[in-house]
Each structure stands twice: as C-alpha cells, then as structure tokens.
Structure 1
Amino acid sequence: MPWANNGQVATDELPGGIEISEEQYALAIEGVIEGKIISIDGGFTISEPPSPELPETPEPPTLDEIKSWLKAGIDSAAENERLKYITPGFGQAMTYMQKAAEAARYLATVEPEPADYPMLSAEVGITAETLAGVATVVNDAYTQWQMIGAAIESIRLSAKASIGDASSEATARAIFEAVAWPVIG
C-alpha cells in the first residue's frame, strides 16, 4: 500500500504518514508534478499551493514629503544657478571672500601697502597690471555677485515658502516648475 505525509508520497511506509489508496497515490503523483500540495492534516488532501503574497504597495508620498522633495530641488537648482557665476568648492568660496575683503580694504585705504593684500597681489599681471586694477576688478565682480546672489536667494526662499504654503501636490509642483532664475547679461 502507498503512503502519504505532508509534502510527500511513497510506496513504502512513511514515518508519521498515513496509508492511502492506489488511486490516491496516482492522484498525488500527478498533483506533485503539477506543483500541488500533499497534506495529511485532517485527512489526505491534494490542494493548490497558496498564492504568493504580493509585496505591499507602498503608500504614496504625503503632501509634506512631496513639498520637502520639491524644496530640496529648489535648493539644488539655486546652487546650479550660483555655479554659473562662481567656482564651486568651500576653499574657492573662502578665497573669493578673502579677495573681496582685501579689495574693499584696498579701495578704502589712502596709501595701501601691497604686503597687506596677498590674495590681490597674487593676481597682479594676470587679472590686471596693477594692484589697484586687481582691487577694482575684484570689487566689481563681488558687487555683481552680490546682485545675482541676492536675486537667486530671493527666488529660492520665495519658491520654498510658496511650496510650503501649497495646499495640493499639483500647486506645489506648478510652483516648482514656474521658478524663473535671474539672467545677467
């Protein structure tokens, strides 16, 4: 006589199994080939395997999450706009700040000493032929940067505030898409 146990059938006795008929054995072999489940819990049965559990559909992002992503996008876009006018990097930013400070000091001093302006002195013969020329070029560039930087910052902060106040995803996205960065030229 054939035997069955959970998940298996055999022609020999299975420890913990139950005896089944030849007809049940044939059906069980056919079922195993088709991927069905053999069980003896509550009697001999052949059943379809359970449907695989589908992964849970992730919850759609909340309006606050979308706003946060859009605000981060505004910050990133503002930085890209800034990089059209300045060289990236913390060290470069410190250099620009030092040069701007030296230029302002130089232009405000009656009898400047070149040794007091090492960053500007490094540019003599490159940016301009004299220390006074370098100070003027650097000061003019800094003044222009202040205007463009302020315009970018104003747009950035305004867009982020408007996105924060948006009452729907569509409105927040429309604000993001409508941002127009300043153009100098």
Structure 2
Amino acid sequence: MMQTVFNALNGENHEEEWTPEPSSESLADLKARLKASIDDTAEAERRKYITQGAGQAMTYMRKADEASRYIAATNPDASGYPLLSAEVGITAPTMQKVAQVVHAAYSQWQIISAAIEAARLATKAAIESSETIEEAQAAANALSWPSPGQKFPQHS
C-alpha cells in the first residue's frame, strides 16, 4: 500500500510503500468485541424511539398491558388501570382514548423493535459465521439500522 510521507528536512512529499501492522487480536476476540458492540449500538437505536431505563421499560410494558385489557373489557373499572388513569386529561381526555393512544404507540414500538432486533441478530450471526478477521469486520460494517423516518409495515 502506498502512502504520502512529508519530509520535514526538505519540505517535500514523497510516496512510500507501507504495510499496516497485523492485528494481534484473534478472530474469536474480534467476534466477541464486534457482537458486544452490536448489542450496545442496538440499545442506542432503541433509545431513538423510547425513554431508557429499566423502570421506564416496566412502565411501558404495564401501560401496554392495561391498554390491551381496557380495550378488550366490556365494562372496565378505572381502578383496575392505574397507569392509564394517571394519563386521563394529559395524554387524552378519556380513559378509552388514552388506552387507544397507548395501544397504538405500543403497536408501533413492536414493529420498530422487531426491525432493530432483526438487524442485530442477523449481523451477529454473520459475524459469528465469519472465517476471517476481514469477513467479521465486513459483516459488522454492513449493519444497517432502521431509520427514524422509515415507514414500517403495519401488523393487523
């Protein structure tokens, strides 16, 4: 590989042959590092759509559960839906509308989350099946996350 080198003594550039240092990292170590990096990046991708934190994740799951149960109920009692009740007048004017908003948001999240998970798992599988350091790095470099403006197919 040729590189341009500046000679400070005479102020001129010249071309020299250069060979990059071979990596001392083993293929197994590289795969482990790349896969851990993919997991970290997937979490960053998820944070583009949701608030981070274990407590917040539990709240989202509970709200989604309450919304599904409320929508399915024939005569729901508001006391059985404390998280939805807390949003009445904030998210929407009625419990029914809050449940619909939460349900719609959760449905959209499932679609986006699935796209992120598919990209994460496919990339990790490609890295794992790589037989050389170059193949493993190329697999990691080929990762393409869904974009925030991307339209996702709707589930029925």
Q: State TM-score, norm by structure 1.
A: 0.67
Asked if residue 133 in structure 1 is aligned to residue 82 in structure 2, the reply is no
Query: What is the CA-CA distance between 1:184 and the residue it aligns to?
Result: 4.2
Cα deviation digits, residues 68-90 of structure 1 (max 9, x gap): 00000100110000000111111
1:97 matched residue in structure 2: 61
Please name the residue that 2:128 is paired with: 164
CA distance in 2, matches of 1:175, 1:100: 35
CA distance in structure 2 between the aligned counterparts of 1:126 and 1:178, rounded to whole angstroms = 42
Work out which of the two has the higher radius of gyration on C-alpha atoms and give 1 or 2.
1
**In structure 1, what is the equivalent of residue 142 of structure 2?**
178
CA deviations 1:79-115 (Å, max 9, x no partner) are 0000001111110010001000000000000111111
Q: For residue 144 of structure 2, what is the amino acid of its counterpart?
A: A
- Structure 1's unaligned 5+ residue stretches are 1-58
Q: Residue 28 of structure 2 aligns with which residue?
A: 64
State the match for 2:154 in structure 1.
Answer: none
**Contact 2:84–2:99 at 8 Å: present in 1 too?**
yes
Residues 1:149 and 2:99 aligned together: no
1:106 matched residue in structure 2: 70
Tell me by how many angstroms 1:183 deviates.
2.1
Aligned Cα RMSD in Å?
1.1
Structure with greater contact order relative to length (CA < 8 Å, sep ≥ 6): 2
Which residue identity lines up with residue 104 of structure 1 in the other structure?
S
Amino acid in structure 2 at the alignment position of 1:80: A
Q: How does 1:31-46 map onto structure 2 within 5 Å?
A: none
- Between the aligned residues of both structures, percent identity stands at 54
Match of 1:122 in 2: 86
Task: Establish whether residue 81 from structure 1 lines up as the match of residue 42 from structure 2.
Answer: no
CA distance in 2, matches of 1:173, 1:181: 17
How many pairs are equivalent? 127
- Structure 1 residue 131 displacement after superposition: 0.5
- The code of the aligned residue for 2:70 comes to Y
Runs of 4+ in 1 over 2 A off after TM superposition: none
User: Structure 1 counterpart of 2:45, which letter?
Assistant: E
Where does structure 2 lack aligned partners over 5 or more consecutive residues?
1-22, 150-156
1:180 is aligned with what amino acid? S
Distance 1:158 1:63 in 2: 19
Amino acid at match of 1:137: V
